[in-house]
A and B are shown apart, each in its own frame.
Chain A
Amino acid sequence: MTSAPRTSRPVDVGRIAWVALLVLLLSFLIVPIFIIVPISFGSERFLQFPPRDLTLYWYGKFFTDPDWQAATLFSLKVAAITMLSAVVVGTLAAVAMVRGFKSGQRAVTALTLTPIIVPNIVLGVALYLSYAPIGLTGTLTGFVIAHTSLAVPFVVLTVSAALHRTDPALELAAINLGANKLTAFVLITLPLIAPAMAIAAVFAFLVSFDEAILSFFLSGVSNKTLPRMLFENIDFDISPLIPAVATVLMSVSLLLMSSSQLLKRRKGKVGNGGSE
């Protein structure tokens, strides 16, 4: 668009300025994040940009260091169980909300959203105060409960939106043909909302896997999540190990989210042509 105009239109200074402004604003969004990636390949013991020689040494260190390994495994475990529990709890609630209550849906929605509205720092401190005396800090159970509460609103929102798009008459037809309510739901509605559940699952996994504030207060001496390890090392470790860990975290997020986005696009084509 910056090439010479084909028609008689004169060079559009306003348009060029507009494009230049956009490029500038978008680089503010994107450059600070991707600058981390090249540093993580630096060969010096301190951060350097641009790095002189490239090496995978820091990635090797991350994957072989027992502390980082333990934190990564613990994070994966917490995120996987959180994903399962959030999808189950959230889907049940979404079905109850959409199919069960004629009135009061707004109240239920408001209830669901509370974990999003309460600032995470308040939640983190509150969980530490309440879970430490009953021995839930530094445990898988404590983490899963806390992270489920953060992830479940996204599941309820995504799945209930999908439920609103499915026609209850389909289930009704199955019931008229002799299926009981449960069979009708499992055979008719569940497959229709399955893609939304999958997207919600990815979200729930990521909410837990990237969560740093509750983890800061819930972590014990041995059971730490990856974001907590990263958080406490950022101030002390000035080697490219930190950018390497950050790059790994970032890759996981981007990979999972773009695949869920692809899933959504496919669903949009197959389904009843909802939004896109």
Chain B
Amino acid sequence: MSTNSSALGRTPAFLMLLPLIAVLCFAVFWPVANLLGRSFFAPDFTLQYYETIVSEPLYWRVFIRTFWISALCCILCLLIGFPIAYAMARTSAWRALLIAACVLGPLWTSILVRSYAWIFLLQRNGVVNDLLIDMGLIETRLRMLYTEGAVLVAMTHVLLPFMILPIFSTIRAIPTDLERSARNLGAGRFRAFLTITLPLSLPGVSAGVLFVFILAIGFYITPALVGGPRTLMIGTLIAQQITELLNWPLAGAISLLLLAVSIATALIFQRALSVGRIVGND
């Protein structure tokens, strides 16, 4: 299988990689380094911005709220996503296609549009309030928009496909024979699922949890639209430092912390991380 003569030499290969490196340097590495660097100078080297973050309870609250909502979001996505992924992997072709359409349709729709839908649903004279009143469950209209609950529900909706797709890929790869043998040997449908399929699907679950958590802690659009200024998360806090206060060093410091958490989470789960599955070329 020697393919030497169709392989590129080192030099041409590096030259072909150069445009990508240039784009990444100019659009990612330099701007991000510039922003993070700001957090250490005032104008001499200082850690004062990090001290501000540590000593100010407001920032603590935002960080804790972000991790809390993101963790809950993972759990909700898992609870809603697992049955969908399981059904999609284990049903007839046309039903799987139908489920896939329900999963991919939202994934392909702009996050802005999806978040906007929740504003419309949750506002005071929105559909959910209408429904609850019609059903006689509530007397007066509830304030649901701009609450943590609203952010959680909307983010769960937006991030669900990132949980479903990796779980689907793993379950589809599990031979159905395994489950059938378990049932032939006397296990009930539920027990066969619990002892065979569930443990074997765990790699997909961890990939899904990783995707959802990393995306959730850095989320901006959904908390900005559905959470409002009262339900700040890390993403909206960073934006607020810039758009309202022009506090670049503090925005840099918060960004550095967010980035550190994202990268640490990604490294922990590194083996499970396979963006290819999301792109759809598995």
Contacts and interface: CB of A to CB of B under 8 A. Distances in A.
Partners in one complex: yes
Interface of A: 14, 21-22, 25-26, 28-30, 32-33, 35-36, 39, 47, 49, 85, 88-90, 92-93, 95-97, 99-101, 108, 111-131, 145-146, 148-149, 152-154, 156-158, 161-162, 168-169, 171-172, 175, 181, 184, 196, 199, 203, 206, 210, 212-213, 216-217, 227, 230-231, 234-235, 242-243, 246, 249-250, 253-254, 257, 261, 264, 275
B20 A26 contact: no
Interface string B84-108: 1001000000000001001111101
Contacts of A171: 6
A172 B13 CA distance: 18
A53 B7 CA distance: 65
B126 to A, nearest CB: 8
B83 A21 contact: yes
B7 A99 contact: yes
Contacts of B40: none
Contact of B127 (A49, A99, A129, A169): A49
Contact of A257 (B87, B104, B263): B104
Q: Is the interface of B mostly helix, strand, loop or mixed?
A: helix
A246 B20 CA distance: 33
A121 B112 contact: no
A275 to B, nearest CB: 6
Interface stretch (B31-39, B49-57, B135-143): B31-39
A119 B31 CA distance: 13
In this complex, the interface size class of chain B, counting residues with CB under 8 Å from chain A, is 35 or more
Contacts of B266: 117
B34 A111 contact: no
B26 to A, nearest CB: 6
A113 B275 contact: yes
B279 A157 contact: yes
A125 B16 contact: no
A172 B5 contact: yes
